[in-house]
Amino acid sequence: MLASTTLWPSTIVSAHSFRLVTRIAAWSGMRLGEICHLRKEDLQTIEGVPCFVIRPHPGEGWSPKTEAGTRVVPVHSRLIATGILSLAETIEGPWLVPGLDMSKQGMRGANFGRSFSLLKTRLGLPAEITFHSFRHTVSTQLRNASAEIREVWIDRLLGHEATHRSQGTSTYLGCITPQNLRQTVEAITYPAHLLASNTL
């Protein structure tokens, strides 16, 4: 429902940017700020795996929320099917998501946040449903997924601080590969009737 552009109220943020932001959120669990601050060069192939690279951008004064927030997030196959890997070649400017404003505090996407709140109102959704609900949904799905998906992989994918900060855990976290994370992100799934069209 929240990924549908039918009722998208904004004339400032395009329906294309709305689809892009909400689909990345739904298929990755990334935070709104992380998505809005993605640059085109942050879409990279690492060890053969297409990934979003979430990292500080000192030039605009933005950095991930926590140290663990600096990470790579493999691109879900559903996003790849929409053609997202070729976006950098078709979008003008440095950003992966075009048409978002930059606040005085260096935060990008405030206009998106306001329009998203208005969309919620139009849909009659309760106040507790927010953009962050995409992230909660992904986290819940992954923690209920196959036992083959390890909790530390989920934490790394979502940029959560490890529950146990022992030396052994730190060493293991450093050994998590893009292939491990791709296996994790591919565990995200939705019922067929909730899936939007396969285009951006």
Question: For residue range 25-42, what is the model confidence (pLDDT) as tens digits?
Answer: 999 999 999 999 999 999
The pLDDT value given to residue 167: 46
* CB contact at 8 A, 43 and 33: no
Q: Exposed (0-12), middle (13-18) or buried (19+): which is 117, by Cβ within 10 Å? A: middle
pTM for the model: 0.88
5 within domain boundaries:
no
Q: Residue 39's domain is classified under what CATH number? A: 1.10.443
3 within domain boundaries:
no
The pLDDT value given to residue 103: 78
127 within domain boundaries:
yes
The pLDDT value given to residue 142: 96
2 within domain boundaries:
no
9 within domain boundaries:
no
6 within domain boundaries:
no
* CB contact at 8 A, 151 and 143: yes
Q: For residue 95, what are the CA distances in angstroms to 38, 74, 92, 101, 159? A: 6, 18, 8, 11, 21
Residue segments in the chain with a per-residue pLDDT below the cut of 70: 1-7, 9-11, 162-174, 193-200
111 within domain boundaries:
yes
90 within domain boundaries:
yes
The pLDDT value given to residue 81: 94
Residue type at position 192: A
Please give the Cα distance from 8 to 15 (Å, whole number): 7
Q: Which DSSP symbol is given to 102?
A: B
Domain tally, the chain: 1
Please give the Cα distance from 73 to 52 (Å, whole number): 5
Beta bridge partner(s), residue 162: none
Burial of 1-31, coded b for 16+ CB within 10 Å and e otherwise, reads ebbbeeebebeebbeebbbbbbbbbbbbbbb
Q: Which domain holds residue 140?
A: 15-194
